[in-house]
Homo-oligomer: A and B are copies of this chain.
Amino acid sequence: MSVTAAKGFTAAGIAAGIKENGNPDLALVVNTGPRRAAAGVFTSNRVKAAPVLWSQQVLADGELTAVVLNSGGANACTGPKGFQDTHATAEKVAEVLTAAGTETGAGDVAVASTGLIGVLLPMDKLLPGVEKAAAELSEHGGEKAAIAIKTTDTVHKTAVAVKDGWTVGGMAKGAGMLAPGLATMLVVLTTDADVDAKGLDAALRHSTRLTFDRVDSDGCMSTNDTVLLLASGAAGVTPDQDAFAQAVQEVCADLARQLIGDAEGASKDIRIEVINAATEDDAVEVGRSIARNNLLKCAIHGEDPNWGRVLSAIGTTSAAFDPDALNVAINGVWVCRNGSVGEDRELVDMRYREVVITADLAAGTESAVIWANDLTADYVHENSAYSS
């Protein structure tokens, strides 16, 4: 159901020829109203792709009519020409939508791109692709749109939360370069609830902070991360803000989990629970340090409950803790107690894809969960062969 699960949205996904292999590579999502409120969060990388710079600008007024997304090229590090190409893409979308009766200007069209960095997009294929996509817009087009934004994703990702008379839907792509800042490449969320831009922004920031921002597949931050939330108001319902934020978080958490489950080359999904931290920031810092420890990620791949590598990762942080009070469990077995040897590591069963590491800082009452992946030869292979 994806982005068209909510009323007031049409979508399409087509093959424009940007990808050399002929796979779908262009998606269009249109808000048919009656409202056009929108919010977005973007990569915190200071090297931002042209579409990110563009979309941040067009979102300044809290309104969007459409989002056009392409795979097959990130349009990052492409200089003034790259920005002109993004602008031209938005102009083209505005032109074809207006011609079809949905009046809009380029200033209400967000653009998102994913793929190789440092390569200009083939505009001779992309612009005709926009026309083709516009012609295929449909209230059932959400699935095709989700498929068209895939790069190295093996499956497309969608999620829906159906509430009392209103709905939040979404799609995501992203299998590499997942890390804080934002933990995904591209996400579009839609709702038919009637929520203004301020309410959307608050719900989106709350949700991404606790979901996408806590996914750290490989420690690398993208130049293109974009998460957009569009509200059509077509359901004619304005939910309670907390209930709305909760629904957005639900969809974000679902998509974030799917991203981890399909990360490049991964064989394990690692849930890192940091408990009894002095502050939530401490918990997140420790979780990310564990998530990014290559030696530990290799050990998890080898199904080795190597708690010493967890402790060495915790030791690099500035979080409050006493080294002699740290406890670590792997899949529920407390292999490290009081900073030293705990239960028998032979008791740890690591056969399944999901691995849970619990780090008890014994320093307070705060906690956080960070998701990561293991490090595998497949990851190395995929990323030494794939030029981006």
CA distance A380 to B385 in the complex (A): 17
CA distance A45 to B119 in the complex (A): 41
CB–CB B78/A383 < 8 A: no
Whole-angstrom distance from the CB of A198 to the nearest CB of chain B? 29
Q: Give residues of chain A (238-273) contacting chain B, Cβ–Cβ below 8 Å.
A: none
CA distance A238 to B339 in the complex (A): 45
CB–CB B306/A220 < 8 A: no
CB–CB B304/A47 < 8 A: no
CB–CB B294/A77 < 8 A: no
Q: What 1/0 flags go to A283-324 for Cβ under 8 Å of B? A: 000000000111100110110101111011111110001011
CB–CB A308/B117 < 8 A: yes
CB–CB A298/B77 < 8 A: no
CB–CB A298/B379 < 8 A: yes
A181 within 8 A of B: yes
A21 within 8 A of B: no
CB–CB A47/B312 < 8 A: yes
Most buried by B among A117, A221, A223, A383: A383
A48 within 8 A of B: yes
Residues of B within 8 A of A377 (CB): 377, 380-381
In the assembled complex, 25 residue pairs joining A and B whose CB atoms fall closer than 8 Å, in A order, are: A44-B316, A47-B315, A48-B315, A77-B307, A77-B308, A77-B341, A78-B340, A78-B341, A117-B306, A117-B308, A117-B309, A117-B312, A118-B307, A118-B340, A181-B316, A220-B294, A220-B295, A221-B315, A221-B316, A295-B383, A298-B382, A299-B384, A308-B388, A375-B380, A377-B377
CB–CB A383/B298 < 8 A: yes
CB–CB A117/B47 < 8 A: no
CA distance A295 to B116 in the complex (A): 13
Residues of B within 8 A of A379 (CB): 294, 298, 380
Residues of B within 8 A of A387 (CB): 299, 304, 306
Whole-angstrom distance from the CB of A17 to the nearest CB of chain B? 21
Q: Give residues of chain A (322-370) contacting chain B, Cβ–Cβ below 8 Å.
A: 323-324, 326, 336, 338-341
Residues of B within 8 A of A316 (CB): 44-46, 181, 221
| Chain B residue nearest in CB terms to A119 | B341
Which residue in B47, B308, B317 is a CB contact (below 8 Å) of A116? Answer: B308
Most buried by B among A316, A375, A377: A316
CA distance A308 to B74 in the complex (A): 10
CA distance A336 to B117 in the complex (A): 11
6 interchain residue pairs of minimum CB distance: A117-B308, A302-B384, A47-B315, A79-B340, A298-B383, A377-B377
Which residue in B47, B77, B299 is a CB contact (below 8 Å) of A383? Answer: B299
CA distance A177 to B296 in the complex (A): 11
A233 within 8 A of B: no
Residues of B within 8 A of A275 (CB): none
Given contacts A82-B340, A306-B388, 9 further A-B contacts (CB under 8 A): A44-B316, A45-B316, A46-B315, A47-B314, A117-B309, A219-B293, A299-B384, A302-B385, A375-B380
Known: A48-B323, A294-B218, A294-B294. A311 touches B380 (CB 8 A): no
CA distance A120 to B340 in the complex (A): 10
CB–CB B385/A79 < 8 A: no
Q: Give residues of chain A (65-91) contacting chain B, Cβ–Cβ below 8 Å.
A: 74, 76-79, 82
CB–CB A298/B384 < 8 A: yes
CA distance A379 to B295 in the complex (A): 9
A10 within 8 A of B: no
